[in-house]
Amino acid sequence: MKSATCSLFIIISLLQLMILVNTEETLDSIMKRLKEALSRLEHPRPTQTKSVSCTTVKASGKLASCPSGMIATGCSCGFACGSWNIQNENICHCLCPIIDWTLARCCDLRK
């Protein structure tokens, strides 16, 4: 959302500059105005400190489930299988026909 708001502000600022610009203004003066406009943007500070907590879950077979409240951020499969997907945000599913183990990297954003 921040990047969309920032992008919108930049586009509006550039449009204003294009409308107001006359032939006497140089590229340097336009860049100076743009930098001044961008420096006035306020970036809200986070009110709470957050940290990421991750763990690894290994299971036999094609599926490995993350603990409750955690999401799967990556998977690894046995027998050098590189084909996998994440189901329901918390289950690693290896897609190769023969798999002996599946590993899920599970993370949680904590306050």
Judge whether residue 111 has pLDDT over 90: no
- Contacts of residue 61, defined as CB under 8 A and 6 or more positions apart, other chains included, come to 99, 100, 101, 102
- The whole-model pTM stands at 0.54
Residue type, 38: L
From 50, 48, 95, select the one nearest 75 (Cα to Cα): 95
**Which pLDDT tens digit goes with each residue over 71-96?**
999 999 999 898 999 999 999 999 99
- Contacts of residue 111, defined as CB under 8 A and 6 or more positions apart, other chains included, come to 48, 49, 50
Residue 104: what pLDDT?
A: 94
Question: What is the residue whose two structure tokens read 């930098």?
Answer: 35
Contact between 85 and 93 under an 8 Å Cβ cutoff? The reply is: yes
